A and B are shown apart, each in its own frame.
Chain A
Amino acid sequence: MSLENFDIRYSEEIDLLFLNKWASQDQVICWLPFCDDREMESATNCWIGFSKFKASLTATINNVPCGIATLFLMPYKKVAHHSMFKIVVDPDFQNQGVGSSLIKNIKHLAKNRFKLELLHIEVMDKNPILSLLFKQGFKQILYQEDYFKDGDTFIPRVLLEANLMEDV
């Protein structure tokens, strides 16, 4: 991480504007399950809703958001020891350590604030974030051939898991 004036704070509802801006860009939306503005806004409204539980982190540079990672906390006790998370980084700041820092911090938040034992993320196969996730200790636990469909093309989904109890 060599970015100056980089910081990570809890997400705020106003960050939705940035989330929508990034998610609507072609190089981002192609890796997400939604395909138009209506679907995107429905998803991102739900996404930013977790900020009220302090389950979402926003990375900033010079106080301007450049990435968001969010825990989608489970609503039922029997499964509340784990959670999915989602992450998106401003395409202008990808491959500069923002994603890596967000993942480290969201794992820390999951383990220490929410006492989670396992953290999951679901991505499309070949998503460039996969290599970063593997570096951060995530392991593949599911590969499903026909889960996503873009036009006539099927794209596999990959579910990855990090065991937070093993993290120091």
Chain B
Amino acid sequence: MKKITDEISIRPVEDGDAILLKKWLNDPKILCWFPMINEIEIDDSIRIWMSYSKMGAGITALYNGKPCGMFNLYIQPFKKIAHNSLFSIIVDEECRGRGVGKVLIEEGQKLAKDVFNISLLLLEVYEGNPARRLYERMGFSCYAEQKHYVKEDGKYLSKFFMQKKI
């Protein structure tokens, strides 16, 4: 456990965090920014997320001792692309606006650089996701747009590719 502020601390992801991850992903206000749409898909994505956490690539943030968000690096299996990594981040709706996302990204960035020797962090953000402003404030820049990436109820959304050299 590492104390970041009086309220926020972080630790490596633990197996039990999968239950919280599922709870957060089941929130429609969160799920809409992920590619999954139902419980089967959510369970599949959690299995993948937790498989990276088992390799030490995940951190959990706690607010006043209670888990409130997670960060995961999808570390690359091949040497030619091992210097870059996509990451996912999720914050409990109840803890939004308290600096948890910022802490998770800062600490995740340190994990990426210091433990996995990553020099390029990648992020994929759907059109309309309000978190994009936070990513831009934290130094991520958008370098491409993939139109029509998401299709839901006949409507399409773009995906924006963001990156930061660390």
- Asked if B35 and A78 make an inter-chain contact with CB atoms under 8 angstroms apart, the answer reads yes
Q: Given known contacts A76-B37, A79-B150, A141-B144, is B80 in contact with A34 (CB within 8 Å)? A: yes
- Asked if A76 and B35 make an inter-chain contact with CB atoms under 8 angstroms apart, the answer reads yes
- Asked if B80 and A150 make an inter-chain contact with CB atoms under 8 angstroms apart, the answer reads yes
Residue A144 lies at the interface, judged by CB distance under 8 Å to chain B: yes
Residues of B within 8 A of A (CB): 35-38, 41, 44-45, 77-84, 119-120, 143-152, 161, 163, 165
CA distance A43 to B145 in the complex (A): 27
Within 8 A of B (CB), among A139-163: 141-144, 146-150, 159, 161
- Asked if A146 and B120 make an inter-chain contact with CB atoms under 8 angstroms apart, the answer reads yes
13 pairs of residues in contact across A and B, judged by CB atoms under 8 Å: A35-B79, A42-B77, A43-B78, A75-B44, A77-B38, A77-B41, A78-B37, A78-B150, A79-B150, A82-B148, A141-B145, A143-B144, A144-B144
CA distance A77 to B83 in the complex (A): 30
CA distance A146 to B121 in the complex (A): 11
Residue A86 lies at the interface, judged by CB distance under 8 Å to chain B: no
CA distance A35 to B146 in the complex (A): 28
CA distance A36 to B161 in the complex (A): 29
CB nearest neighbor in B for A149:
B83
CA distance A143 to B163 in the complex (A): 12
Q: Given known contacts A39-B78, A76-B41, A79-B151, is B146 in contact with A144 (CB within 8 Å)? A: no
CA distance A149 to B165 in the complex (A): 14
